[in-house]
Amino acid sequence: VKPMTPRCSVPKAVPVGKSASLHCHENEGFPKSTYSWYRNSEPLSADSKSKPHNSSYSLNPATGTLVFHAVHKGDTGRYSCIATNEAGFAKCEEQEMEVYDLNIGGIIGGVLVVLAVLVLITFGICCAYRRGYFANGKESGESYKTPAKPDGVNYIRTDDEGDFRHKSSFVI
């Protein structure tokens, strides 16, 4: 039985130096299919050492797996897979894989900005602490004074109040 169109799985974007796995699978064909991969319509050999600039991958024709151990910019391209057996072959549609550089300068700049902000915040907190903005009332005693509690007695004297004297009849 001729193979059906295989299912291909190709990552859309991979950073330089990272690994990438491409998969191709078809289970309708009999006898079992073998797989070959193509980049930009050119076949990739099972032995990656045959072309020195392609020495970073391994290809397993039995499972249809193509693994790049450490991708480089030259690995960018359109990838497709062909499943083949004695009855015929079938090809999946080409899929684009982009290999991109990490922006190391941008990452370092971002880290430096974050560190500068943390230093400024720490400096601001230290200055505020030294000036007493974080002082606790129990520690300094001068930050907050409670008002004296009134005893509830009014000491207002009016003019019609005279001096009170005990009369002799009160004396015992």
Assign residue 35 the CATH number of its domain: 2.60.40.10
**pLDDT for 17-61, tens place per residue?**
999 999 999 988 899 999 999 999 999 987 666 555 555 789 999
The number of folded domains in the chain is 2
Asked if 12 and 89 sit in the same domain, the reply is yes
**pLDDT for 54-98, tens place per residue?**
557 899 999 999 999 999 999 999 999 999 999 999 999 999 999
Q: Is residue 27 in a domain?
A: yes
Asked if 111 and 126 sit in the same domain, the reply is yes
Q: Is residue 60 in a domain?
A: yes
**pLDDT for 118-129, tens place per residue?**
999 999 999 888
Q: Is residue 13 in a domain?
A: yes
Cα separation of 9 and 81, whole Å?
Answer: 10
Cα separation of 4 and 90, whole Å?
Answer: 6
Asked if 74 and 125 sit in the same domain, the reply is no
DSSP codes of every residue in 74-107 = GG-EEEEEEEEETTEEEEPPPEEEEEE---HHHH
Q: Is residue 42 in a domain?
A: yes
Asked if 42 and 72 sit in the same domain, the reply is yes
Interstrand relation of 88-91 and 42-43 (parallel, antiparallel or unpaired): unpaired
- Say if CB 128 and CB 41 are below 8 A apart: no
Cα separation of 57 and 49, whole Å?
Answer: 9
Q: Which two tokens stand for residue 154?
A: 């009014």
Asked if 122 and 45 sit in the same domain, the reply is no
Q: What angle do CA 56, 62, 66 make, to 5 degrees?
A: 25
- Say if CB 59 and CB 34 are below 8 A apart: no
pTM: predicted TM-score of the whole model, two decimal places: 0.59
Asked if 24 and 89 sit in the same domain, the reply is yes
Cα separation of 23 and 37, whole Å?
Answer: 10
Cα separation of 137 and 112, whole Å?
Answer: 38
| CA-to-CA separations, 167 to 128, 170, 171, in angstroms, rounded | 69, 6, 7
Asked if 77 and 117 sit in the same domain, the reply is no
The domain of 117 spans 104-132
Q: Is residue 154 in a domain?
A: no
Q: Where are the alpha helices (DSSP H) in the chain?
A: 104-130, 137-140
